[in-house]
Amino acid sequence: MLIKRRPTILDPQGKAVEMGAHNLGLSNIKNTRIDKYIQFDIDTPDKSAAEKEVNDYCSKLLANPIMEDYEFNLEKIK
């Protein structure tokens, strides 16, 4: 799953990293944003149950909906 800070919310980490890019001479780099990418397994054969559980995990714990948006993909592993 991918957690992104809302576009209107300042990302100081991205800003700091971008400063480093400019110091490196990479002057065309703009709008650096640091997101979170989280991987995990979910042990259920039922896709809709899995979606519900992952959605709960995202909205209640992994992301704070006040400042972050999230999206996720489910892949069958066997």
Partner 1 sequence: MSKPKFGIVVFPGSNCDHDTYYVLKKLFNYDVNFLWHKDTDLNGSDIVILPGGFSYGDYLRTGAIAKFSPIMNEVINFADKGGYVFGICNGFQILLETGLLPGVMLKNISLKFVCKDVYLSVENKNTAFTEGIQKGKNVLKIPIAHGEGNYFADKETLNQLLDNDQIVFKYSSEDGEITDESNPNGSVMNIAGIINKKGNVFGMMPHPERSSDAILGKTDGSLIFHALANNILN
Enumerate binding residues for partner 1 (CB under 8 A). 9-10, 12-13, 15-16, 61-62, 64, 66-67
Report whether 51 contacts 74 (CB < 8 A): yes
Minimum distance from residue 54 beta carbon to partner 1 (Å): 16
Sign of the alpha-carbon torsion through 10, 11, 16, 17: negative
Shortest Å, Cβ 4 to partner 1: 14
Calpha distance 44→27 (Å, rounded): 48
Residue 47 beta carbon to partner 1: minimum distance, rounded to whole angstroms = 26
CA count, 13 A, side-chain hemisphere, 28? 0
User: Which of 47, 59 has the CB closer to partner 1?
Assistant: 59
CB closer to partner 1, 23 vs 76 = 23
Nearer to partner 1, 61 or 77 (CB): 61
Q: Do the Cβ atoms of 44 and 53 come closer than 8 Å?
A: yes
